[in-house]
Structure 1
Amino acid sequence: MPKRPEKPDRKVTSVDVARHAGVSQSAVSRVFTPGASVSKKMAERVREAADQLGYRPNVLARSLITGRSRIIGLVVAYLDNPFYPDALEKLSAALQARGYHILVFLAGNSDEDVDSVIQDLLDYQVDGIIAASINLSGELTDLCRAAGIPVMLFNRGISGLGLSAVTSANEIGGARVAEFLIDGGHKKIAHISGWLGASTGRDRRAGFIAGLEKAGMPLHAEADGGFDRATAASAARAMMDSADPPDAIFVGNDHMALAVIDTLRFEMGVDVPGTVSIVGYDDVPNAAWPAYDLTTLRQPVNRMVSSAVDTLLAEIEEGRTPGTITEIQGNLVLRSSARHPKAKGQTSI
């Protein structure tokens, strides 16, 4: 075993590691390049020498040579919704397993905020961008395309831009909620949608209304909750204070649905589900808490993440043409916030 040398008064380089390990500099480079071909014995030898010398590869310098930073920029509008921190964690783990890391930027909902963040990401020389819960302009998309940076939409679709996107099957999910509430004997079914400026809000609403119409059931009342807790709570308050309140409300995501339950139970004294059934969308961790026990349409986040990563990396590494649209169906998870159809008492359908 070679004796560990004294700590140098300069930064250790790959040349020092190669000399210490008795290998070529190119062998050192391969060991620290994700996906490069190198034997297990060689990798162990080089890494042991690197540890002894205190060497760390300069990822940024290597990116100047290879043209790849192996960094993916992730842009998200807000993290208040528990769905997104969970999805972000899973995206990070999936990309790291493929030799990539993420650089997270928060953007407001305005076009100016999004434009500024994307410009910053391009300056960081990212290999690709995942845009979650934000809208991109055609001009911004063209800018990324000209820079050779693939863009992947996550849990959001934007038509006409030729971008790849992965979402849950929102229209099918909305229709499934309508079917469930009708089967449960509800007659006055309302909807508090997500922001209708987003594809997720529009598609869930469209599927829900189509499901009601298929059964000859009119939509009793509706409001745009804007994916905002306070707005959704205010909408639920107005619905239940009306002369003809609903007996069921489909809320466009769990983040809003939990606020609706809190408002009805603890502010208005309304029995959920005795007086009104509440159904959400996402199945965030809080939905299963005993205080809520929320019936909800589960977004298949693990499959969505896997699909998004596979699609984006195929565009980065293989030059696949963008524009792949993937919709993944999730299950309706039955809990106690909504009345169940008598013949369908299973826990997940």
Structure 2
Amino acid sequence: MTESGKRVTSYDVARVAGVSQSAVSRCFKPGASVSKKMRDKVMTVARELGFQPNAIARSLITRRSNMVAVIINNFTNLYYPELLVQLSRGFDRRGVHVLLFTLEQESDVDKMLDQVWQYQVDGVISAARLSREQVTFFEERGVPLVFYNRALQDFPVSAICCNQEEGERLLVNRLHTAGHRSFGVIGGPTDSVVSYQRTHGALDRLRELGVKNVPVVEGDYSYDSGRAAFRELLQGMKKAPDAVICANDVMAIGCMDAARHEFAISVPEALSVVGFDGTATGAWSSYRLTTIDQPLEIMAEAAVNMLLERVENPELPPEQRTFSGVLLEGESARLD
């Protein structure tokens, strides 16, 4: 506040610092072109005067809220927190704030969108499934949308994806080459696009290799569901399979624990277990999980860039970028 009790403005800072108002604005804008000498001078005066930029006033001028929404399902948030961390860091470096919206199930997204619109966000990254009608609604509102690890068939959308099918085919190839012939699959929720792609990627490759009648049990991406799914697999099979392919790392860990501690099945000597994601938990010494590691940091940065490019230029056409995962050879599967 000034001595008269009025709020300090950028004009006051500019007058005392002997620079223009636009120079003051650039000093407070992340990534703006301004010399270190100029920035230090303006920041010193700003601190002395007690000046803080008014984000609301700036948004009225620029017609942007400087906020983006990230829609994510609870299982991704709980068991894959690295994703949210990387997205937040990417936006923070660009002076953009993140509003997080979490879903219990991907099919609940309709209820969430009503809340998203209230904040007038500049754009949205969705790590949850949206229908074609919902995507069209984004277009009508002029709000850029980028999918993370999701896409729509036969409908152009911007998306950053890991090649789920390619990763599963790689796992199946290595397991089959190592001599595994009896398989079980633990998939994720039926409304998860990622689970569908991973499960069917594995099943399609197994069929190509002549492996038929592969039992599939549905989990919900959680540890407990991985344990329960392995029990269900054994109930439906005459004997334990050579290998179990799990739709994510957390269920694979649950599967391993059930095999070892409930059925005294040795992993990997008597049973190979593989996952997908490359989470830090899977690398713990008790598991050393064999899995497909997604290039999370690169994918998150690409999603941030793709969205902000469309905020700056709404006329950009839809774009999809696909990244390959990397096989992490742990100690949960026999691959030789």
CA distance in 2 between partners of 1:31 and 1:51 (Å): 13
CA distance in 2 between partners of 1:169 and 1:256 (Å): 20
Does residue 101 of structure 1 match 2:86?
no
Relative contact order higher in (CA < 8 Å, ≥ 6 apart): 2
Matched ranges for 1:19-98 at <5 A: 19-79=15-75, 84-98=80-94
Change (3 A) 1:116 1:7: farther
Change (3 A) 1:57 1:118: same
The answer as to whether partners of 1:196 and 1:202 remain within 8 angstroms in 2 is: yes
Tell me whether 12-21 or 282-291 shows the greater mean CA deviation. Answer: 12-21
- Give the SS at the match of 1:153: strand
The answer as to whether partners of 2:217 and 2:233 remain within 8 angstroms in 1 is: no
Tell me whether 183-192 or 239-248 shows the greater mean CA deviation. Answer: 239-248
- Give the SS at the match of 2:211: coil
1:64-115 deviations in whole A, cap 9, x for unaligned?
110122221111111466553101101111122233221112123264x422
Does residue 309 of structure 1 match 2:304?
yes
CA distance in 2 between partners of 1:110 and 1:202 (Å): 13
Match of 2:266 in 1: 271
- Give the SS at the match of 2:69: strand
Amino acid at match of 1:144: F
Match of 1:253 in 2: 248
CA distance in 1 between partners of 2:153 and 2:105 (Å): 18
Match of 2:231 in 1: 237
CA distance in 2 between partners of 1:280 and 1:27 (Å): 52
- Give the SS at the match of 1:281: coil
Residue correspondences, number: 335
Amino acid at match of 1:262: D
Q: Which of 176, 181, 192 is matched with 1:182 structurally?
A: 176
Tell me whether 135-144 or 51-60 shows the greater mean CA deviation. Answer: 135-144
Q: What is the Cα-based RMSD across aligned positions, in Å?
A: 2.2
CA distance in 2 between partners of 1:76 and 1:254 (Å): 18
CA distance in 1 between partners of 2:278 and 2:161 (Å): 15
Tell me whether 308-317 or 76-85 shows the greater mean CA deviation. Answer: 76-85
The answer as to whether partners of 2:30 and 2:93 remain within 8 angstroms in 1 is: no
What is the CA-CA distance between 1:219 and the residue it aligns to?
4.8
Matched ranges for 1:219-238 at <5 A: 219-238=213-232
Which consecutive unaligned segments of at least 5 residues does structure 1 have? 342-349
Matched ranges for 1:132-147 at <5 A: 132=127, 134-147=128-141
Does residue 206 of structure 1 match 2:200?
yes
The answer as to whether partners of 1:83 and 1:282 remain within 8 angstroms in 2 is: no
- Give the SS at the match of 2:275: strand
Q: Percent identity?
A: 36
What is the CA-CA distance between 1:230 and the residue it aligns to?
3.0
Q: TM-score, normalised by structure 1?
A: 0.89
Does residue 123 of structure 1 match 2:131?
no
Tell me whether 309-318 or 214-223 shows the greater mean CA deviation. Answer: 214-223
The answer as to whether partners of 1:156 and 1:198 remain within 8 angstroms in 2 is: no
Which consecutive unaligned segments of at least 5 residues does structure 2 have? none
CA distance in 1 between partners of 2:253 and 2:3 (Å): 57
Amino acid at match of 1:216: G
Amino acid at match of 2:251: M
Tell me whether 5-14 or 64-73 shows the greater mean CA deviation. Answer: 5-14
Matched ranges for 1:168-179 at <5 A: 168-179=162-173
